[in-house]
Amino acid sequence: MKVCVLAEVAHHRILPVTYELLTRALGLASPGEIGALVVSGGVPEEEYEKLGAAGADEIIAYEAPWLERFRPEPYTAALQAMVAEFKPEIVLGGATSTGRTWLPYAAMKMHTGLTADCTELSIEEGSGLLLQTRPAIGGNIMATIKTPHHRPQMATIRPRSTRPATPQAGRRGRLHRREALPAWQQSGLTELSFTPIDETQELSSAERVVVVGRGIKKPENLGMVRELAQLLGAAIGATREVVDRGWLPYSCQIGLSGRTITPELYVGVGVSGAIQHLAGMQTSKRIVAVNTDSEAQIFSLADVGIVGDLLEVVPALNARLRAGGAL
């Protein structure tokens, strides 16, 4: 097996990030060489079929009630067993809270390298090694990293930095059910409670995000931005300047010391585009911005920019969107 992706599961469904990893795998390997490891409390058979249709040739499944929620020790035991049996050259996980815990824990146990939060992957000509590219030093630079001598080569991939693979008619994977050994239940963690999704987390996975910067001037002006977000069906984010002033909660902060977002559409109003902010949003698919300063750095990233006063532009845009009907 050349590439194995680590599936993520919640509420008995395989999450979209898994299909994004499959897109990456399809870019690195040929059909027949791709695997997916699914560790879960159990998922319906169709979920495995869908994974096969989307590109996984071998699907390795571990199911047990005690695998419902991620814990480092049992998940790593399953990963190690999969690696021992299928010997993938490359293992890819999402740069999610699970992936960013599971993969480093496993990398140490397997004595191999791991590259965090990659935004680009390719295969080096000649050596066939995985080239992993990621932003570093607050997005000031991009670094390309490889793991020459240790196996598997492992990376976590920034969520939403690529499109999910779609199921193809007629394509199927082979399902390998494997037993999760009782000994794997040994864990230092005991679950006390779980409360599904809260609103602040939605920002990380929102398709559209409207981000407010200090150009908003005072919290009273947030109303027009909220309206814009509502018209676009977007979540609201903020720069640190706005959060530090207490105009929006910390959970809204986008950037180096806040959240990373990769939405389809990023709308920045009154945002200068400081490097620490860009670190959390530069992999957004489309970027539009409104700023009075034509030299603002955000414009160097923007697909469409309006040099103008947001207090004028945003209400006009809202009126136009209202008139134009739903997007």
Partner 1 sequence: MRLAVLIKQVPDTRSVQMDETTGTVVRKSSDAILNPLDAYALRAALLVKDAAPGSTVTALSMGPASAEKALREVLALGADDAVLVCDRACAGSDTWATAVVLSAALQKHGPFDLVVTGERATDGDTGQVGPEVAARLNLSLATFVDEVSVNEEGLEVERKVETGLERWRLRLPALISVTKAIGEIGLPTLAGKMAARRREIPITTAADLGLDPATIGLKGSPTRVVKIFYPTLARKGRQYRVVDEASLADSVEAMAKYMAEVSAV
Ligand X SMILES: Cc1cc2nc3c(=O)[nH]c(=O)nc-3n(C[C@H](O)[C@H](O)[C@H](O)COP(=O)(O)OP(=O)(O)OC[C@H]3O[C@@H](n4cnc5c(N)ncnc54)[C@H](O)[C@@H]3O)c2cc1C
Binding site for ligand X (CB under 6 A): 213-215, 239-242, 253-258, 270-272, 274, 276-277, 280, 290-293, 296, 309-311
Report residue 183 as tokens.
């000994």
Residue of 32, 65, 141, 295 that binds partner 1 (CB under 8 A): 141
CA nearest neighbour of 59 among 49, 69, 67: 49
CA nearest neighbour of 124 among 142, 141, 143, 147: 147
CB of 259 to ligand X, least distance (A): 8
CB of 309 to ligand X, least distance (A): 4
Q: Is the sign of the CA dihedral 205, 207, 213, 216 positive or negative? A: negative
For 35, the enclosing helix (H) or strand (E) is strand 34-40
Report residue 69 as tokens.
């929620």
Which CB, 86 or 250, lies closer to ligand X? Answer: 250
Question: Is residue 210 within 8 Å of residue 197, measured between CB atoms?
Answer: no
Which CB, 3 or 289, lies closer to partner 1? Answer: 289
Q: Report 248-277 residues binding partner 1 (CB under 8 A).
A: 250, 256-257, 264-265, 267, 275-276
- The entry of ligand X, partner 1, none near residue 286 (CB within 5 to 8 angstroms by kind) is partner 1
> Does residue 65 bind partner 1 (CB under 8 A)?
no
CB of 296 to ligand X, least distance (A): 4
CA distance linking residue 261 with residue 276, whole number of Å: 13
CA nearest neighbour of 290 among 272, 312, 268: 268
For 53, the enclosing helix (H) or strand (E) is helix 45-53
> Does residue 194 bind partner 1 (CB under 8 A)?
yes
Residue of 45, 125, 182, 193 that binds partner 1 (CB under 8 A): 193
CB of 291 to ligand X, least distance (A): 4
Provide the Cα torsion 152, 158, 162, 168; round to 10°. 50
Write out the DSSP string of 65-105: GGGSS--HHHHHHHHHHHHHHH--SEEEEESSTTHHHHHHH
CB of 309 to partner 1, least distance (A): 7
Around 138, how many Cα atoms within 13 Å sit in the side-chain half-sphere? 9
Which CB, 100 or 171, lies closer to partner 1? Answer: 100
CA distance linking residue 46 with residue 38, whole number of Å: 13
- The entry of partner 1, ligand X, none near residue 39 (CB within 5 to 8 angstroms by kind) is none
Q: Could you give the 3-state DSSP secondary structure of residue 269? A: strand
> Does residue 226 bind partner 1 (CB under 8 A)?
no
Which CB, 76 or 272, lies closer to ligand X? Answer: 272
Residue of 53, 116, 225, 261 that binds partner 1 (CB under 8 A): 116
Q: Report 34-63 residues binding partner 1 (CB under 8 A).
A: none
CA nearest neighbour of 106 among 150, 164, 142, 144: 150
CB of 229 to ligand X, least distance (A): 16
CB of 165 to partner 1, least distance (A): 17
> Does residue 76 bind partner 1 (CB under 8 A)?
yes
Which CB, 123 or 175, lies closer to partner 1? Answer: 123
Residue of 43, 106, 224, 271 that binds partner 1 (CB under 8 A): 106
